[in-house]
């Protein structure tokens, strides 16, 4: 059926957002006064999932990178609780780089996104809120296997 000149038919399904389009930076509340600042994250208000696990990366040596994997069913929010770092996300075809440098912003990292973290500043802390408990079986750690899973091989 031609769409020429016409609008999308009623009830037509929107194409699913690609993995990289689902990744986005959110602004978190920040309460500041003379004593400093406080930010917070509420599950299913600021982020679209329940939080089952919290972990954090710290003491990353200069020039070191982390990540190099994807998750089958894990969604996460990454926050630069201190310092800064970059997160490079890939869907097997394209990449997007996000720079995190403020505790009042968080990067929503969807499942099935290959992630590399790099350019950690001295003293950086990467705080991660995760939708699932730790499960090594949820990881793609082999890039070729990941490419096959997303149909890029
Ligand atoms: C991710 C990035 C941002 C656990 O025992 N429990 C945990 O909750 C986690 C996250 C890891 N581990 C173990 C597994 C390894 O033996 O800790 C060790 C280091 O984990 P990994 O090499 O996966 O660390 P990163 O920094 O490369 O990746 C981690 C997360 O695994 C990953 O989900 O998105 O941080």
Q: What is the 3-state secondary structure of 2-55?
A: CCCCCCCCCCCCCCCCCHHHHCEEEECCEEEECCEEEECCCECCCECCCCCEEE
Residue 88 confidence class, pLDDT cut points 50, 70, 90: very high
Closest atom of ligand 1 relative to the 57 alpha carbon:
26
- Per-residue pLDDT reduced to its tens digit, 11-22: 556 666 789 999
Residue 107 in tokens: 């990067």
24 is catalytic: no
Q: Which residues pair with 69 in a beta bridge?
A: 115
Average pLDDT over residues 38-60: 97
Residue 49 banded pLDDT, cuts 50, 70, 90: very high
| Closest-lying ligand 1 atom to the alpha carbon of residue 109 | 34
Question: Which residue has the CA at smallest separation from atom 22 of ligand 1?
Answer: 67
Q: Say whether 97 sits in a helix, a strand or coil.
A: strand
Q: Which atom of ligand 1 is nearest to the CA of 68?
A: 27
Q: Is 7's pLDDT higher than 60?
A: no
84 pLDDT more than 90: yes
Tell me the C-alpha distance between 64 and 3, whole Å: 51
CA–CA separation, 51 vs 76, rounded Å?
Answer: 9
pLDDT at 11: 53
Instruction: Label residue 53 exposed, middle or buried (CB < 10 Å: 0-12, 13-18, 19+).
Output: middle
Look at residue 1 and tell me whether its pLDDT is greater than 50: no
Examine the pLDDT at 3 and tell me if it is beyond 60.
no
How close is the Cα of 41 to the center of ligand 1, in Å?
21
Q: According to the model, what pLDDT value does residue 12 have?
A: 58
pLDDT, mean over the chain: 92
The model's pLDDT over 31-41, given as tens digits with 9 standing for 90+, comes to: 999 999 999 99
Residue nearest to atom 32 of ligand 1 (CA): 67
Ligand 1 centre distance from Cα of residue 6 (Å) = 49
Nearest residue by C-alpha to atom 21 in ligand 1: 67
Give pLDDT, residue 17: 75
Of 107, 111, 113, nearest to 95 by C-alpha is: 113
User: Which residues lie with the beta carbon below 6 Å from any ligand 1 atom?
Assistant: 53, 55, 57, 66-67, 76, 115, 117, 128, 134
Tokens of 48: 């679209």
């Amino acid at each position: 059926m031609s769409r020429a000149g016409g609008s999308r038919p009623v009830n037509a399904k929107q194409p699913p957002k690609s993995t990289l389009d689902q990744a986005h930076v959110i602004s978190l509340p920040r309460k500041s006064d003379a004593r400093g600042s406080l930010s917070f994250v509420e599950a299913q208000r600021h982020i679209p999932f329940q939080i089952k696990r919290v972990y954090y990366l710290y003491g990353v040596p200069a020039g070191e990178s982390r990540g190099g994997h994807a998750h089958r069913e894990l969604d996460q929010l990454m926050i630069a609780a201190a310092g800064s770092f970059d997160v490079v996300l890939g869907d097997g075809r394209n990449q997007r780089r996000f720079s995190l440098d403020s505790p009042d912003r968080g990067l929503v990292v969807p499942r099935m996104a290959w992630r590399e973290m790099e350019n950690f500043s001295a003293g950086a802390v990467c705080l991660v809120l995760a939708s699932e408990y730790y499960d090594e079986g949820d990881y793609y750690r082999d890039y070729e296997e990941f490419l096959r899973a997303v149909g890029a091989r």
